[in-house]
Structures are given as C-alpha cells and as structure tokens.
Amino acid sequence: MSETAPRTSLSTLQSFIQNAFVAVGMPHEEAGKAAALMAQADLIGQDGHGVSRLPMYIKRIQAGGLNVKPDFKIIEERAATALIDGDNGLGHLVMQNATELAMKKAETTGVAWVGARHSNHAGPASLYAMMPLKKDMIGLYVAVGSANHLPPWGGTEMLLSTNPIAVAIPSGANPPIILDMATTVAAYGKVKTAAQRGETMPEGWMVDKDGNPLTDPSRASEGFLLPIGGAKGYGLALIFGILAGTLNGAAFGRDVIDFNADSKKTTNTGHFILALDIKAFADPKMFKASIDNVWAEMKSSELMTGVSEIRLPGERLAQVTQDRTDNGIPLAPALRETLKELAADLGIAPL
Amino acid sequence: MSETAPRTSLSTLQSFIQNAFVAVGMPHEEAGKAAALMAQADLIGQDGHGVSRLPMYIKRIQAGGLNVKPDFKIIEERAATALIDGDNGLGHLVMQNATELAMKKAETTGVAWVGARHSNHAGPASLYAMMPLKKDMIGLYVAVGSANHLPPWGGTEMLLSTNPIAVAIPSGANPPIILDMATTVAAYGKVKTAAQRGETMPEGWMVDKDGNPLTDPSRASEGFLLPIGGAKGYGLALIFGILAGTLNGAAFGRDVIDFNADSKKTTNTGHFILALDIKAFADPKMFKASIDNVWAEMKSSELMTGVSEIRLPGERLAQVTQDRTDNGIPLAPALRETLKELAADLGIAPL
C-alpha cells in the first residue's frame, strides 16, 4: 500500500463499513463493532486484513455463508478458560467477545485462555493480542489460517495454513512490543502482490512439487509456501493449528475451507486468545521500565554493515498508526474503485 | 551420538548422577530427583542436555555458583499463576516444582502459567512440556537460553539466546506430538559438533559480522547464529526472552551469564511452564482420537520427490525412547572417559 494514496479518516472508513454490514442485515450495534475493528486493522497498517476484505465478507454474507445475527454460546467454562461457539458469526465479533472474557478472567486468576470454534476470518492477529494491553496485560493470539497453503514437511498436499501468532507486550516510554507473524517465510498475500506487480519472488518463499525454488508468482498454484526454519516452521504451524483448531473442535487439516474460494460453506474457523496479567508477576510500572530497557539494549547494539537501525517488533506498527491517526488512512485507487462498486451494489453512500 | 556406542541402563545412569550430586553436597532425595530428570533427557535422545552436562553442573556447584540446598519460594500467586524464586538451585528441580504447581492449578482453573527466576540450566525443554501429558494436559515450556548466541536482527552484539520453546500434545494410538525447538536455524551444539568433526556448516546456520555466510565452524566466534525466518525468529527469541526472563525478574539481554564460560556468577535463569487441561475444552478421549486423525492426515500426504516419509514432531523422540528403554542408553567413549575422570575426582563408583 502506497502511503501517497488519497487518505480517508478513520471515522469515515468506519461509518462506511458499518453501513455496508447493516445493508446486508447485520444489527446496527454489531455492525458498528465490526466496523471499528476492521478500520482499526487499516489504522495499524494491516492493509491486507482491513477494509480490503470487506467485499469478501459481504459476498459471504449474501451467499448465506456467514451469520449476521450469531448467538455466541459458552460451551465449556472454568475459572481461567472458556470455549466459545461463535455460531458462524464474523470472526472479529467472536474474538472481541473471547478476548474480553479472557481479560475479565485473568484479572482474578492471573492468566486466562479462551478458545473459539464456528468462527470466521477475524482480520489481523495483532488486533486481539493488543486488546489486553489497556489492562496492563500481555496478549497472545493464535488462529487457524483461512486457507491451506503448505504441506507437512516433505509432502506435497496442502494440509496446513500459515497459522499466525501475535503477542503484544506493553512498554513504558516506547511503543508496545508487538510480534505478528505467519509461520511461513512469506505470507500468501505477498505472493499475490508480487504476481499483480509482475515481480519475481526471492528464493526461499516458495518451492515447487519437486522441492525446487519457485520464483515466478504467476506459477504459485504449482507450489507451496515454505515454513520458517524448514521443519521447525512446519512444527509451529502444526502445533498452532491443533491448539487453535482441533482443541476447540474447529477445522484443521483437510477440513479447512478456503475462505476466499468458497463463500457458502461454514468455515468453522478456530482461534484462541491468552491474556496474562502482568500484576500477577510484577509491578506493571517496573515491568514496563524493564521493557524500555530491552528497547534501549536492542537499539544500542553495534550494527551490521549496511544496516542503518535495529528495529523492534511493533515499531513500524506504532509509526504507521501515528501517521494514519494524524493524516488518515491511505486507500489505493483500485481498492477505492472496488468499494465504490460495493456501495452501489448495496445502495449505500460511497466513501 | 552414535547409537552403536556401548549402552548403559537408565537405572545405572541415574544412580551414577545421583551419587555425583550427593558427593558435592546435594541432599540424597533431591539428588535422586535431579538424576531422574537428567537420565530421562538421555533416554528421550536429548544427548546434548543429559549426563553430558553433569561435569559442568558439578564444576559450578564446586565453584559456589549453584545452590545444592535451595529453598524455593512462591513470590507471587493467583489461582492460575505463580512466580517461583529458585534460590539459585538446579533448573531441573526448580522447573519440576513449577510444573507440578502448574498442573495442580490447571486441574481446577483449566490453564495455569508458572514462571521462575533465580533458576539455572534445566536440560531439554521437552522434559517439562511432557510432564503434563500424564494428566491429559498440554504442556508449553519456554526458557531463556544459558548463553547469548545471536544479535537483534541487523545488529552484531549478541544480546539474545536461542530461547527455545517446547509444546507437548497427547494422542491416542500414536506418540504424543512434541515440538522442541530453538528459535535459531541451528542450535549452538550443532556448530560445536561440526567443529569437533572438522565438517563444513551449510549456508544459513551462521553469518559473519558483515552478514556473509559463515560455513567454517572453527570461525564460529567471529559470527552469529541465524534466527529462523530472519526477523521473525529474532522476534520470537525476543518475545520468549521477555516472557521467560524479564516478566519473572530473571536475566535477559546483557544480563545473561554464559553458563559454560562462567561457573561462579549467579545466572538468574528464567523459564515458564503453561499447563492446559484438555478436559476444560473437550473429552480427552475424543481429543486424542482427533490427534490420531492429525497423524493419519499428515502421514497420508503425497510425498515430495526424494522424500520417503512424512515425520511428525515427537516421532523420533518416541522411537529413540523405546529403543533406549529396551536396550539402554548409548554413551560415547569420550563421554565415558570424562565421566570416569569425574567419578575419580568425586570419589564415587564409576559408571
């Protein structure tokens, strides 16, 4: 996403998304919550997981593949755990609900783990990991990705998704440390972008069925994404898939529905959120000062030749968020066009 | 470790380790517990983290750098969390204590997270992740490594360790799925082994200070280990270090003492264990059947050219454990020689 694209304010974007959801039958209040989370994704720079996904969500709702009036149910509950059935609702609403429950539990118990089944795509992983920060808690979120893009290590059948993890840790004077990563070297969105731009991919992103490097993104369907660290990334994708999927009774492996390719079938997406109360371990002020010290230490390392600065995970997110809060959210012309068509289809005011 | 080396039974190895610890002042019962865990590390095939570490532990005890009569204290406690001060005791004993507490808490609360500070090297990560399996729980263990081997991404100062994670998930008819991995492409022990054998390292394990591939292991001190997935592995090492170290008031970054190079200074090693009770989410029998299904699905993938079999994390561990339970633990001649010298020094019966 070019930061020079025309900007839109957060509130304008939010109202637009809300109107779109209301137009396809989502109650006004729920639509507002979903819109706030989706616009937040764009605000923090996660362009691939914000309003750009709206047309797909709307298409799924219109096809009957997503429930706009879900009745969330707590299926299992203990003092520090819960399992929520999302009733095929939008992932954002399911996970906001789950995260609020986890935070409430962790306030008493110190840590809480809330899983969800029968959910859907929920946008960027960091969105949920960041929620506990306001309560001086650490957030850890894991999801089963919404399509399988890699085989088990040594295989050729795509049985695993890029199952992401996000962890958010508050600091004092510095931005929070926020890691948000797929378990593959490149996320699938990067391959799609390279294909659109006619660019070659670096070796290491994908291989073909014979294990040879695949660098032509237009041939992406003939190969697979490579997990980070080879068998290690396969192990992480597998473990995360089990914890976020299988444990919750959600889809994993051959059961995973490609969210982009099939708008009708229930995805039964699984995720979980862990909230960890810093106060159960340390004085939050002192802890945050320690994290400031971590920032200072990492930043003060001697630099490798050709490197201008050490970055911490979450640093770019904070910079982008500040810029977009001040100046609005850049939306590329092609996306604006798509959203204009969507507005016309739904009979709502364009952006 | 060659599996053709002469074998020693688990109980013989255990008694030997126990005698060694008793000889340097550890109470008989504690020495037995520590010996059981260390011998278990060898039994499951983690040769680099079992009895091969004994001479270093003994040296540290003799130098006054490790407390043989620690008084573990619970510094902070909530229903589902605790922070334990290990009083500079052996990491194995601290973490066994922490894991038992986590399991006890999780039985009621569903999940528990127990951190430790003022601990020491605890052997292989999988040892603690596996403990909750017997209660139909999932274990997740993270530690700050006992020496810094990599810089922040783009830097040249070694501020991070290979901070490992281990996760253990029970299955039904198959072995448990056990992931035990460093956040670097190669663990440092692999570099040491390559140096001993005069072998060249593959590109991707290490780089020099200019970022060029370093493949001569005798030059290891001039370079750094590479994190998995580049900046992603750096992010994981950073986050794990904060959660296992900083949050517990344990060492991280410049405070980390090289356990191998300095036997006197208190390491203030940090770790944490998370125990997750499967019964809080699903019927354990049904869950384990689902994990068997995961095994079957992964195994049934078409194979990449030149690959003979898909492996699951934990599969080799189960095979090695079975072989060593049946036939004893192979100990290389050089290690036997070292242990013979140790026995002579301590005035205990040799292996």
pLDDT digits 0-9 by tens, B166-175: 999 999 999 9
Predicted local distance difference test score (pLDDT) of residue B2: 54
* Dihedral angle sign, alpha carbons of residues B183, B188, B189, B191: positive
A contact residues 305-334, partner B, Cβ 8 Å cutoff: 305-307, 309-313
pTM: 0.97
Element (H, E) at A128: helix A126-130
From the list B219, B211, B205, the residue with the least C-alpha distance to A304 is B211
Read off the amino acid at residue B350.
P
Surface of B (174-203) touching A: CB under 8 A:
177, 179, 181, 185
**Residue appearing with tokens 């200019």:** B210
User: Is B96 inside a domain boundary?
Assistant: yes
Which residues of chain B have a CB within 8 Å of the CB of A297? 159, 253-254
- Angle at which helix A91-109 crosses helix A28-43, to 10 degrees, equals 80
In this structure, are B53 and B70 located in the same domain? no
Q: Is A28 exposed, middle or buried (0-12, 13-18, 19+ CB in 10 A)?
A: exposed
Does one domain contain both A112 and A237?
A: yes
Task: Based on the fold, state whether residues A240 and A336 are members of the same structural domain.
Answer: no
Say yes or no: A148 and A131 in one domain.
Answer: yes
Length of chain B as a residue count = 351
Residues from chain A that touch B138, judged by Cβ atoms under 8 A, are 243, 247
H or E element: which one contains B274? strand B269-277
Based on the fold, state whether residues A168 and A98 are members of the same structural domain: yes
- pLDDT per residue as tens digits for the range A190-207: 888 888 888 999 999 999
Q: What's the alpha-carbon Rg for chain A, to the nearest Å?
A: 20
Please check whether residue A43 lies inside any domain of the structure: yes
Q: What percent of chain B is predicted at pLDDT more than 70? A: 99
Residue of chain A whose Cα is closest to the Cα of B138: A243
In this predicted model, what pLDDT tens digit does every residue of B284-331 receive, in sequence order?
A: 999 999 999 999 999 999 999 899 999 999 999 999 999 999 999 999
Nearest CA in chain A to B107: A78
Residue A191 shares a structural domain with residue A309: no
Nearest alpha-carbon partner for B248 in B118, B116, B151, B149: B116
**B319 within some domain:** no
A320 located within any domain:
no
State residue A200's pLDDT score: 94
Residue ending a domain, among A197, A226, A255, is A226
What contacts A322, CB < 8 A, 6 or more positions away?
none
Give the CATH number, domain containing residue A212.
3.30.60.50
Number of domains observed in the structure of chain B: 3
Q: What is the ipTM of this complex?
A: 0.96
pLDDT at A2 over 70: no
Query: Within this chain, do residues A262 and A197 fall inside the same structural domain, yes or no?
Result: no
Neighbours of A129 (CB within 10 A): 27
Q: Among candidates B324, B341, B312, B45, which has minimal Cα distance to B174?
A: B312
When pLDDT is cut at 50, 70 and 90, the band that residue A259 belongs to is confident
Give the chain B residue whose CA is nearest to the CA of A229. B228
Q: Are residues A136 and A231 in the same domain?
A: yes
**A325 within domain boundaries:** no
pLDDT band for position B269 (cuts 50, 70, 90): very high
- Is B304 inside any structural domain? yes
Where do the DSSP E strands lie in B6-80?
Answer: 7-8, 73-77
Q: Are residues B280 and B163 in the same domain?
A: yes
* Together in a domain, B157 and B209: no
CATH number at residue A271: 3.30.1370.60
Query: Which residue in B148, B86, B70, B149 sits closest to B118, CA to CA?
Result: B86
For residue B190, the SS3 value is helix
For residue A337, what pLDDT is reported? Answer: 96
B96 closest CA partner among B121, B65, B131: B131
CA distance B322 to chain A (A): 22
Contact: A304, B156; criterion CB under 8 Å: yes
Residues of B in contact with A238 (CB under 8 A): 177, 179, 294, 298, 312-313
A346, A54 Cβ separation under 8 angstroms? no
Helix (H, G, I), strand (E, B) or coil at A12: helix
Chain centre distance of CA A6: 24
Residues 6+ apart with CB under 8 A from B296: none
Phi-psi region of A210 (alpha: psi -120 to 50; beta: other; left: phi over 0): alpha
pLDDT tens digits, B173-217: 999 999 999 999 998 878 888 888 889 999 999 999 888 999 999
**CATH assignment at residue A21:** 1.10.1530.10
| Residue B231 domain-assigned (yes or no) | yes
Please check whether residue B288 lies inside any domain of the structure.
yes
In terms of CA atoms, which chain A residue is nearest residue B179? A235
What mean pLDDT value characterizes chain A? 95
- B313 to A276: CB separation less than 8 angstroms, yes or no: no
**Domain of residue B121, residue span:** 66-184+227-313
CA distance B85 to A198: 57
Query: Is it the case that residue A288 has pLDDT exceeding 80?
Result: yes
Q: Does A341 touch chain B (CB under 8 A)?
A: no
* pLDDT tens sequence across A65-113: 999 999 999 999 999 999 999 999 999 999 999 999 999 999 999 999 9
Q: How far apart are CA A170 and CA A190, in angstroms?
A: 29
A50 lies within 8 A of chain B by CB: no
CA angle (A339 as vertex; A334, A342 as ends), nearest 5:
130
3-state helix vs strand vs coil in chain A, percent to 5: 45, 20, 40
Whether A265 and A337 map to the same domain: the answer is: no
A253 and A293 assigned to the same domain: yes
Hey, is the C-beta of A133 within 8 angstroms of any chain B C-beta? no
Nearest-by-Cβ selection for A79 from B80, B253, B298: B80
Asked if the model's pLDDT at residue B231 lies above 70, the reply is yes
A110 closest CA partner among B251, B71, B98, B106: B106
**pLDDT for B97 beyond 70:** yes
Among A204, A159, A166, A206, which Cα is nearest to A182's? A166
- Whole-angstrom distance, CA of residue A117 vs CA of residue A122: 12
What is the CB neighbour count within 10 angstroms for residue B1?
18
**SS3 call for A217:** helix
Token pair of A132, please?
A: 């506990």
